[in-house]
Amino acid sequence: MGLRDYLVVRNDDRSGVQTNWWINPDIIPLPPSRRTWGRTEFLGFWSIPHLCISSWTTGSVLVSLGLSTWETVAVLLVGQGLVAYLAICNGWIGGKWHIGFTVAQRLVLGVYGSFIGIVISVVMSIIWYGSQAWLGGLCISVILGSCSSSFLNMPNTLPPSALMQTRDLISFILFHILSIPLMFVGPEKIKHPVILSNVLALTVMISLTLWTVKTGSFKDPSGGWDTVRDQTNRWWTWLYGITAVLGSVSSGILNHADFTRFARRQGVQTSGTLFGLFVPGTVIPLLGIVTASMNTDANGQPIWNPVDLLMDRLMLDYTFLTRAGCFFCAAGLITSQLAQNVLGNAYAAGMGLAGLFPKYVDIKRGCVIAAILSWACQPWQFYYVSSMYLDIMSDFSVTLMPLTGIMIADYFLVRRQRIQLTHLYTRDTESSYYYTFGVNWRAIIVWVVCVAPAIPGMIDNLAVEDRAQVTAAVLYYRGFCVFGFLQSLLLYWGVMRVFPAQNLGEQDEVDVYGTFESEEAIDLGITPFNKEFEAEGQRLSLESLLSDHDGLEMQQLKEEEREELEHRTRQREVDEKDAVEEAEVEGLLKDRRV
């Protein structure tokens, strides 16, 4: 066996799927055995992004726009409400059909056009991975600095243009090393590490706030920052803040189906998602505001990054109690950074890369590749100033929100939640999702038309010095998260009404991949997967039914094969019912004899 053969991802033994350039075991519709997520898992999934450092700083960044504290709370609530709505809607396809974002892109953009959406998602996940890894590295700097004054005061050998110190670079490398073992746990088994991380992070954040309130002095966090000068600008500032909140998790909204496909049943993701977004998503930024108002740097400006706060405490007071407090706070924060980075970013990038190169990349390999590529985005520059961080969060939404609108319109309004799973894993020109040369030109045109108007405003926004004096293009860009979503949703729905694609609203007649439980398949109007065919050597395998050369056409199934499969399923259900009745009768007879 050569190296090339060794690198090929293993086949799926359960369903008989043969790995090729379109499918592997990590991107097939998940079988019941791999669907292990319940309410607790989704609560942890949506809590951990808000129990990490980036969420802590969100409130302070919103205040920097000139909003009052109550306005910041309102913006957070509205923003998290929109996040919940979009995430639940966009992840609904994963809970019902058990496919992830990467495969769903073939449904929307076509088998070749899907590469566009997948690449965008992978790039965003890699950028966020690097961003969170840098913050995690800073936590390691605090931990090592609290243990060793030599490390804390290590001479910086890097030039000023690097925007980081030697000790932080070392810690950044160490964080990457710590992350690698968690990447091999897998999404199905990540529950307990995430729960532990949530508890530790919440405890540390509350403790850090109480510590700073007790030892610090109050200073209005908006005092030295920009202020909103009139009511018109105030409304646009609200919209800009909502865009920043959406932009900070826009990648998670877009690829939410990658995780809802692990749901035990449709709907269990809803309550955990809502609680995780509204409670930690609002409380943690407020704790950040309180903490920032009680601590200032040498220039009198609030310290909005908790790691900078801990480092500042070490520099000013290197006593045993301060060192111990900083050590345990940083240790708690690093657990949340590890959990968020692996679960929310590495897994997402790994799933995307598995969709791009399914023959050679699975989720675990994709995670490692994403971690390596994250160095290229130079994440240490994201946190140089708070305004840069805000702009970066908003910029993410420019390309992602219109695509989210297209996906929701396609699944709910155009296809009425009915899809053909078998047609998603072929390049056959007659398949439902081949469209025109493998690309759904309707979706591509709508996406470009919706994204293009926001580009001038995005460029101008980076050069704005006075947030109150802006052009119409900048104002449009600052509200683009809302504008872009609504425009793409309505425009795509209209285009698909005028230029409909083939086979809209159709679905498979047989569960080829063993995706559904018998009851679930029957509710969907699909003949359940039957293992008896496998034992007899007559199973309708993917290789015999659906191939790249012959096409994945369920219509080619012989009618007698369908009837035989349905007959076996009905007969098995009758036999099971008879067995239960016989057991009940025997039990009654036994009771009477006794």
Q: Are residues 318 and 438 in the same domain?
A: yes
- CA–CA separation, 116 and 356 (whole Å): 10
Q: Is the pLDDT of residue 435 over 90?
A: yes
Q: Are residues 409 and 557 in the same domain?
A: no
The listed range with the strongest mean pLDDT (56-70, 214-228, 529-543) is 56-70
Is position 529 within any domain?
Answer: no
Q: Are residues 290 and 306 in the same domain?
A: yes
Is position 242 within any domain?
Answer: yes
Q: Are residues 77 and 20 in the same domain?
A: no
Is position 506 within any domain?
Answer: no
pLDDT per residue over 490-514, tens digit each?
999 999 999 999 888 889 989 888 8
Q: Are residues 49 and 24 in the same domain?
A: no
Among the candidates 477, 498, 519, a domain finishes at 498
Q: To 10 degrees, what angle do helices 320-340 and 166-183 make?
A: 50
pLDDT of residue 558: 43
Q: Are residues 121 and 148 in the same domain?
A: yes
pLDDT per residue over 155-172, tens digit each?
999 888 887 889 999 999
- CA–CA separation, 365 and 352 (whole Å): 11
pLDDT band at 63 (very low <50, low <70, confident <90, very high): confident
Sequence-ordered alpha helix ranges (H) in 280-434: 280-293, 306-316, 320-340, 347-356, 363-373, 386-395, 397-408
Q: Are residues 321 and 402 in the same domain?
A: yes
Q: Are residues 572 and 433 in the same domain?
A: no
Among the candidates 498, 525, 550, a domain finishes at 498
Is position 519 within any domain?
Answer: no
Q: Report helix, strand or coil for 439.
A: strand
pLDDT of residue 569: 63
Q: Are residues 441 and 545 in the same domain?
A: no
Q: How many domains does the chain have?
A: 2
Q: Under a CB-based contact definition with an 8 Å cutoff, are residues 511 and 527 in contact?
A: yes
**Among 263, 362, 353, which Cα is nearest to 24's?**
362
Q: Is the pLDDT of residue 145 over 50?
A: yes
Is position 518 within any domain?
Answer: no
pLDDT of residue 211: 87
Q: Are residues 491 and 588 in the same domain?
A: no
Q: Are residues 53 and 9 in the same domain?
A: no
CATH number of the domain bearing residue 316:
1.10.4160.10
Q: Is the pLDDT of residue 561 over 60?
A: no
Domain that holds residue 556: 1-28+537-594
- CA–CA separation, 150 and 263 (whole Å): 49
Q: Is the pLDDT of residue 141 over 90?
A: yes
Q: Are residues 178 and 244 in the same domain?
A: yes
Report the predicted TM-score, pTM, of the whole model to 2 decimal places: 0.82
Supply 209's token pair.
Answer: 């706030």
